[in-house]
Amino acid sequence: MCQNCSKELAKTYDPKGIEGRLYKKWEDNGYFHAEVDRSKKPFTIVMPPPNITGQLHMGHALDNTMQDILIRYKRMQGYNALWQPGTDHASIATEVKVIENLKKQGIDKHDLGREGFLEKCYEWKDEYGSRIINQLKKMGSSADWQRERFTMDKGCSDAVLEVFVKLYEKGLIYKGSRIVNWCPVCKTSISDAEVEHEEQDGFFWHINYPVVGEEGRFVEIATTRPETLFGDTAVAVNPDDERYKDIVGKMLKLPMTDREIPVIADPYVDKEFGTGCVKITPAHDPNDFEVGKRHNLEEITVINDDATMNHFAGKYEGMDRYECRKALVDDLKEQGLLVKVEPHSHNVGTHDRCGTTVEPMVKQQWFVKMDELIKPAVEAVKNGDIQLLPKRMEKTYFNWTDNIRDWCISRQLWWGHRIPAYYCPDCGEMVVAKSAPQKCPKCGCGHMEQDPDTLDTWFSSALWPFSTLGWPKKTEDLDYFFPTDVLVTGYDIIFFWVIRMIFSGYEQMGKAPFHTVLFHGLVRDSQGRKMSKSLGNGIDPLEVIDKYGADALRLTLITGNAPGNDMRFYWERVESSRNFANKVWNASRFIMMNLEGAAITEPSADELQPADKWILSKVNTLAKDVTENMDKYEMGIAVQKVYDFIWDEFCDWYIEITKTRTYNKEQDPVSANAAFWTLKTVLTEALKLLHPFMPFITEEIFCTLHPKEETIMLAKWPEYRADWNFPAEEEMLEHCKDLVKGVRNVRTEMDVPPSRKAKIFIVADDAALRETFEKTREAYQNLAGASDVSVQADKNGIEDDAVSVVIPGATLYLPLEDLVDFEKEKERLLKEKERLTKELARSRGMLSNEKFLSKAPEAKVQEEKEKLAGYEQMMAQVEERLAQMNR
C-alpha cells in the first residue's frame, strides 16, 4: 500500500463489496444534504417525482443518472448543490392497485366508504411507496433524502389549495361541460398524458343519410364509430366545396332515429378526405365539440360511463358500444343505408393504466382556463429565458402551446387532492375555499357538502419546483434555492408536465421555475423497440446492477447519449463498461503498489521528464474540455473524453512509459520521484473527472489513494492551470507514439515475438525532430522493443535489407537480422514447403481424375479448385521468402 494509506485496494474489483457500504457512508455523513448558505452559490435540481406505485425501469435509471451526474459535478465545483427528491401520489395508478388488492380480499371500495378506502391507500403507500426510492439509491443517486417530499404531504397539499383558490378567484378555474377523455373501466376523466395512441386496424363505414323532402337523394358520410350516430346533431361540409353548396341548410333524416339534423358549412371539413361530408357529434369528439360551439349545436351524450348505450340509442339501449356497433351496422345494411365498408388503419386512444379504449365524452368537470396562463410560458422560450435542449424540442413545445385547450383537472377518484368546492344541499350555492365553510353564506344551512372529485395528479406536480421548497410560506429555502436551475426529463412528457410547471411558476412566483430543460430520449431494447410489459422486453436495472454494478450501468446509459435521442440497450455495452471499471481498478492498484513506501514530493518543472509534462498537459486540457462539455450538458461527449484519456493516454501509454523509471528508482531517485508524483497527481485528477459518472469506484480508489480525505464527492473539481500547459512536450510525445505504433505494426506483421529486441535507426532531416527523439528515448525505447536507438540525419551504416517504417517527419529502419532468427525461420519455411508440396500433389491429382470430375458435385469441384489456387499462392510466397534468405 502507498505511504500513509490505511488500506489497499482488493485484488479484484467487486462492486457488490463496495457500493452498499459507500452509499451508507455518504448518507450517514450527510454529504447529499444542502442547507441555506449565503456564502455559496446555489444550484438546484428537482427530481421528477416517480409514482409511489413505480418500480425502477431503464427510463428512471437514465433520468436519475443524468441528474446525479449534474449534481455531483456542481457539488465538486463548490456550488451549494440541492437535488430535491420526492414521490407522486399517482391518483389513478394507486387507486387501481389498491382496488385490485382489496378485490383479492373480497372487499369493494364502496363498502369501505371514502375515508376507509383512503386509509387503505395510505397503508399501501407506507408499505410500497418507498420502494422506488430505495431502488434509486442503488443507482448511487445523491439526492437530499432528508428533504424528501410527497405530493400529498401537508406542505404540498397547502400549495394545491392555495393555487386552486387563487385561480378560481381570478376566474381562471371554472366548472363547465366540455369534452374530456373518459375511461369506462376506471370511470374517471383522464389527462392527455394518460392516453396512449396506438395504430389499430379498423374500418370506415360509409352510411347514407337521406335528404328530407328529396326522395332518393342522400348525403354519404364515412365514420370509424357508427355507434355515435345517435349523438349526431349536424352533417358538415366545406363552404368552398362546390359539390354540396346546394344542400347547405337542408335537413337530413338521421338513420335509425326519428330526428332530423341540418347540413352546415364549416372550414374544419377537409374536402379531399373521405366523402367531404362529416357527421358532427359534439358530445363524443373534441373537434366536433368545437364545431358544435361555433354553430350552437346541441350536445347529446349517447354512451354511459361504463361504455354502454343510453336511451338516446333507442332499441340499442343497454348494449356495450361494440355490440351496438355490430347490430347497428347490420340494421343499416338491411335498410339499404350502408354504402360500403373500407379497411382503415387509424390511431386509437387507450388508457395507459388499464388498456381500455378511451371514450371522448362531454362531462361536467373542473377546468383551468389556459389562453392567458400559457402566454408567459410561450414568451419565456421565445426570448431565451428558458432554454430547451435539444433546441428542436421547441417545435413540439410551440405546437402544443399554439393548440392549447382548457385543462380538465377533475378526476372521479377518491385518492388525491379533493377539490375545495363546497355545495349547499338546500339552495345549491357553491363556495370555493381552502377549508370547509361553517354554513352556507346564502341560506345559512349548516352542512355544506364537498365536491366528491379529486384533482388531476399533474395539478400538484405542476407546483413541484416551489411547493417542495415550502411555498406558499415564504421560507428561506424558497428564497435561496428557487428558481431551480435544470429540469431533466423525458421528451414524452414535454406537454403534460414541463409546460404546466413553467406557466405555474410564472403565475404563482412571477418567474421561470428553471432556466434549462434537458430532454433525454427513451431507452429501447437492442432491436430498437420500446420496452414494454406486452413485449416482455424490459430490462430490470437492478438485475444489471446485481450482475455488473451501478457504475457499469451508469456508464452504459450515458456513453454516446445525446440530448433528446433514443438509445438502445445492449448487454455487450454493459460488459464493456464493466471492463473499463476493471481497467481503472487494476491501473490504480498497480500505481499504489509502486507508490508503496515512497516519500513523494512535488518535483520542480526541470525535474519533470517530457512524458510527465505531456500527461499533465493532456489531463489539463481534458479538465477544460470536460468542463465545457458539462456546462453545455453534453454528458455523453464528456464521459467519452474521460474514458479515452484514462484507457488510452494514461493506462496504455503513460503508465507503460514510466515503468522503467519506477522500477529503477534506486538508480535515479529524482526521475522516479517525478514519475511517482505525476502518476498519483494525474490519477487523482482523472478520478475526479470520472466521479460524477462512476461515483462508487472513484470514491473507493480516491479514499484509498488519499486516506486523509473524507470523500471524493467534496473534492475540488479540476480546473485548467496555465502552469500545466506544455504544448512542446505534447508534440514531442506524439512523435514518440507514432514511432512505437509504427514499430509495433511491423513486428506484428512479421510475427516477431515480444521478447526479441531490435535496434532502431531513426533518420530525420529536421535537426529539431532529431533532438526530440534524443530527449525522449525513455518514452519509447522500451515500448518499441528496441535494443538500441540511433538517431541520425542519413542512412549511413544501415543495411540494405533493413525493414523501413515511414512516420511523420522521419523514417525508421530495423535490421532484418534483429527481427528474424534466420536458421529457425529457414527451418520453418522448409517444413511449410514440404507440407504445401504434398497438398499441391493431392489437389492436382484429384482435379486430373476424370472419375472425380464427372461424379463429384459441381460445388465440391469448385471448392477443390479454390484450394489449389490458395496452395499455389502460398507456395510462391514461401519460395520467395526462401530466395530472399539465401540472397
* Numbered residues of the known binding site for ATP: 533
- Start-to-end CA distance of the chain, whole Å, equals 57
DSSP 522-585: -EE-TTSPBP-TTTT----HHHHHHHH-HHHHHHHHHTT--TT--EE--HHHHHHHHHHHHHHH
- How does strand 80-84 pair with strand 173-183? unpaired
Quickly tell me which residue has 430543460 as its cell.
Answer: 517
CA-wise closest residue to 491 among 407, 567, 384, 565: 565
Quickly tell me which residue has 347540413 as its cell.
Answer: 263
DSSP 1-66: --TT-S----SS--HHHHHHHHHHHHHHTTTT-----TTS-EEEEEPPPPBTT----HHHHHHHHH
Rounded CA gap, 658 and 306, in Å? Answer: 77
Count other Cβ atoms within 10 Å, centred on residue 560: 14
Distance of CA 114 to the CA centre of its chain: 39
CA-wise closest residue to 515 among 635, 387, 392: 387
**Contact yes or no for 518/486 (Cβ under 8 A):** yes
**Contact yes or no for 65/554 (Cβ under 8 A):** yes
Quickly tell me which residue has 475540488 as its cell.
Answer: 716
Give the residue ranges of DSSP H helices in 750-787.
Answer: 767-775, 777-780
Q: Which three cell numbers stand for residue 292?
A: 358544435
Whether cis (ω within 30° of 0) applies to the bond prior to 210 is no
DSSP 765: S
Instruction: State phi, psi for 211 to the nearest 5 degrees.
Output: -80, 125
Annotated binding site: 533
Rounded CA gap, 539 and 530, in Å? Answer: 11
What string of H, E and C letters represents the secondary structure of 278-344?
EEECCCCCHHHHHHHHHCCCCCCCCECCCCEECHHHHHHCCCEHHHHHHHHHHHHHHCCCEEEEEEE
Rounded CA gap, 697 and 579, in Å? Answer: 13
Q: Which three cell numbers stand for residue 143?
A: 439526492
**Contact yes or no for 641/621 (Cβ under 8 A):** no
Give the Å distances, CA to CA, from 711 to 23, 658, 694: 11, 28, 14
Rounded CA gap, 287 and 559, in Å? Answer: 44
CA-wise closest residue to 480 among 85, 159, 156, 40: 40
What string of H, E and C letters represents the secondary structure of 431-493?
EECCCCCCCCCCCCCCCCEECCCEECHHHHHCCHHHHCCCCCCCCHHHHHHCCCCEEEEEHHH
DSSP 634: -
HSE of 500, CA atoms in CB hemisphere, 13 A: 25
Give the Å distances, CA to CA, from 804 to 745, 746, 761: 11, 9, 9
Sign of the C-alpha dihedral, residues 849, 853, 854, 855? positive
Give the Å distances, CA to CA, from 183 to 238, 356, 369: 32, 7, 23
**Contact yes or no for 105/87 (Cβ under 8 A):** no
DSSP 860-878: HHHHHHHHHHHHHHHHHHH
